[in-house]
Every structure is written in structure tokens, then in C-alpha cells.
Amino acid sequence: MTNLKPYPLHFQPDFKERVWGGRALERFGFDVPAGAIGEGWMIADHPNGVSHVTNGPLAGKGLDEVRQAYGEAWFGTSGGASGNGRFPLLVKLLDCNDDLSVQVHPNDHYERLPKGELGKTEMWYVLDAEPGAKIIYGLKPGVTREDMAKAIAEDRIMDTLQEVSVQAGDTFYIPTGTVHALCAGVLVAEIQQNSDTTYRLYDYNRPGLDGKPRELHIEDSLKVIAYEGAGASRMKTDGVKPGEWLTLASSPYFETEKGVVDGEWQLSTSSESFVILIVCEGEGTVAWADGVLHAKPGDCFLLPANLGGYTLEGGMTVLRSRVP
């Protein structure tokens, strides 16, 4: 199939049970397995989870197989490599039925990274939020490493953290070194480096799915926190005009924009990078020279770099991510 013409790929998510998960991902029409499902790995090529193509000639193939077979032609001169030989991004939908652990991620250069792992810069787009929902986002001004260590020892870490209220449409950019935690009542789309490395600072003294306390990583966390700030930023995204892109996050690893489709919108891929489209609300179609796919909330599509022209049509809000 080396001469296969490029087409938009849709994937079967790899679902993950989490102590903080729920059943909200069922609203997107997915066949969600039993249990407290916190994460759908929508576009994934990682040792801990691989998503598989559901449509077209490559149906049933894992993203890892597709990447190996089509390489730079489909994934782009920038998007074809990640620093660890795998697909560069990991796209998730997160159902936060309960609070997540307070955590922080290292950068690519941290000496204690697990073998083969990268750092983890990420961003969140809030798809839905219950009234009063909040997240933990960074440290209070002036908190030092010594302050943090003392607060942890005295079991009052929450005194050092900033809480932020959230609504649907809010965006949070979370560079490595930023202390953060999603809290109960939010549904989030997450775009991140292809990494599964998380250091937990605090987990509310609750048991994990196995009934045992979940591991904390205090030493690693204290080492990688950016106490002076890591460049984290947040924004409201109301008022995006149809046919225009609003930049939500721009990092060395991904650029993500929000767009509103109202009618027909003609676009094109470029040879530098694949395009990932996440449908946040509404519905419509993704059309290209050789076909059309229906698009509904929760759908995530990977458009090959060499796809060329494509058209979004209907009434929907989408996120577009590429590798710079």
C-alpha cells in the first residue's frame, strides 16, 4: 500500500480507567468500556496506548504502523519526528468526574526521565464545565521551593496553589514545570507532547483503583517545578468569527487554533506537518478530493501533510493542531 493516496484518518480511541474518571465520554457516541473511564487516547502512538484507524484502506492499522509505513510524506518534514522516533503528539479527551492529582511534568532534558520518554508540554481546551467548576493552575505568587517543601511536609500543599474557575471554551497552556490539576466537573480536550510522564505532588490521600495509595513523586516534582513561572497562559475564546483562526497555544511542539465553521470553509495542508482536527461542538463534514467524512462532537481526525486541499462544511467549532 505504499502508493496509497492520502486521506483523513479517524481512530478508535484507547480508553483508560482512572480513579477520577466517569462515564461522560459516552456522550460522544463512543463504545466506552465498563468502569471509571477518565481518558480517551484519541490519536496515540505510545508504548502505553496506540489508537487504531477505523476508516478507509488502513482500517485496523495502529498509528504506529501507519507512521512507519508512510513517514515524512504523510506526517511532514516537521511532524514526522518527535525526538523519540514516534508520532510527536498525543491527543486525549478527559472526563474529570473527580479531582485529578496535583502534578507537574518535566522537560525533555530532565536527567531522571524514563528511558525513551520525552517531557510533557500540554494544553487544555474546556469542552464542558459544570457550574462552579475549577482547576489548579500554577503557584501563588512568591512561593519558593522551600515554601513548597515545607507545605508538603505539613500536609497543607493546597495553601500554595492557585485555583481558577473554568467555563466551556476556556483554554490553558501548560508548559513543563507548571503545577496543575483538573478538578471535578470538567470535560477537556488535551493536546500534548507524546509523553506519559507525570510527577504527582498530592493526591488527596485517596486510594487508587487497586485500593492502595497512589505513588507520589515529591523529589522529582520539587526539582522540575518552575518556581518563577514557566510561561503558562490562559484565555477565553468567545467571539471567534466564522472562517477565522484564533491561536490558542504556540509552543515548540504544537500550535493549536480554534475555528468556527459556518457553511463552507476551504483549507489546505502543507508539507511541513499533518493537521489534527478536533470537533468540539456542532456537526458537519470533512471533504477532500476523494471523499467525505461526517464530523460530530468528539471526533478527532488526522489529515496527512500531503492531503492538500480539504473543505470543512456545516456548523461546528473545531480545534486545529500542527507541529511548527
Residue ranges in the chain assigned as alpha helix (H): 63-75, 145-153, 218-224
What counts of helices (H) and strands (E) characterise the chain?
Answer: 3, 22
Give the pLDDT confidence score for residue 80 in this predicted structure: 75
Q: What is the tens place of the pLDDT at every residue in 101-133?
A: 999 999 999 999 998 899 999 999 999 999 999
Q: Would strands 37-43 and 14-22 be described as parallel, antiparallel, or unpaired?
A: antiparallel
CA dihedral over 15, 305, 256, 112, signed as positive or negative: positive
Domain 9-235 shares a fold with domain 245-322: yes
Map out the domains of the chain as residue ranges. Answer: 9-235, 245-322
Mean pLDDT of 27-38: 96
Alpha carbon distance 29, 41 (integer Å): 15
Q: What is the mean pLDDT of residues 85-113?
A: 96
Cα–Cα distance measured from residue 317 to residue 279, given in angstroms and rounded to the nearest whole number: 6
**pLDDT tens, position by position, 248-257:** 999 999 999 9
CATH of 245-322, one of 3.20.20.105, 2.40.50.140, 2.40.100.10, 2.60.120.10: 2.60.120.10
Residues 6+ apart with CB under 8 A from 192: 89, 90, 91, 92, 120, 121, 122, 123, 254
Write down the pTM of the prediction.
Answer: 0.96
Chain centre distance of CA 282: 20
If DSSP codes are grouped into helix, strand and coil, which group holds residue 117? coil
Query: pLDDT tens for residues 176-210?
Result: 999 999 999 999 999 999 999 999 999 998 988 89
Binding-site members for Zn(2+) are 105, 122, 180
Candidates 218, 259, 258; CA nearest to 112 is 218
The C-alpha atoms of residue 240 and residue 217 are separated, in whole angstroms, by: 40
Q: Which residues are catalytic?
A: 200
Residue 1 pLDDT grade (very low, low, confident, very high; cuts 50, 70, 90): low
Binding residues, as ranges, are 105, 122, 180
pLDDT at position 81 over 80: no
CATH code matching the domain that covers 9-235, chosen among 1.10.3720.10, 3.40.430.10, 2.60.120.10, 1.10.150.120: 2.60.120.10
